[in-house]
């Protein structure tokens, strides 16, 4: 992946909530590189959602309506549970 694009993603993973910073940042480091190009684009799109929505999804309090976003949330949650 192009370094400039990776820097943009790192910046987008820095959120207003520590929990999101940790979940998204850890996934970017450990899970993102193994994603297909399609899933990498979905991750980038996921980062456009507001913090409260992302937090509710990633904590399992709500489920995204879109199947692609639900899949990406599941990947991030599974990565977090295996990284402990």
Q: How far is CA 3 from the centre of its chain?
A: 18
How many CB atoms sit inside 10 A of residue 3's CB? 7
Counting every residue written for the chain, the total comes to 84
pLDDT band with cut points at 50, 70 and 90 for residue 77: very high
pLDDT tens profile 27-65: 999 999 999 999 999 999 999 999 999 999 999 999 999
Residue 35 neighbours by CB distance under 10 Å: 16
* Residue percentage of the chain with pLDDT more than 70: 98
What domains does the chain contain, in order, with CATH numbers?
3-82 (1.10.150.250)
pTM score = 0.91
Give yes or no for residue 7 having a pLDDT over 60.
yes
- pLDDT the model gives residue 84: 66
Which pLDDT belongs to residue 83?
78
């Amino acid at each position: 992946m192009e370094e400039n694009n990776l820097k943009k993603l790192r910046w987008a993973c820095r959120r207003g909530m520590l929990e999101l910073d940790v979940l998204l940042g850890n996934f970017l480091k450990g899970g993102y590189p193994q994603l297909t190009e399609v899933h990498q684009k979905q991750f980038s799109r996921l980062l456009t959602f507001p913090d409260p929505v992302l937090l509710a999804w990633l904590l399992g309090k709500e489920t995204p309506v879109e199947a692609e976003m639900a899949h990406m949330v599941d990947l991030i949650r599974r990565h977090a549970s295996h990284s402990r």
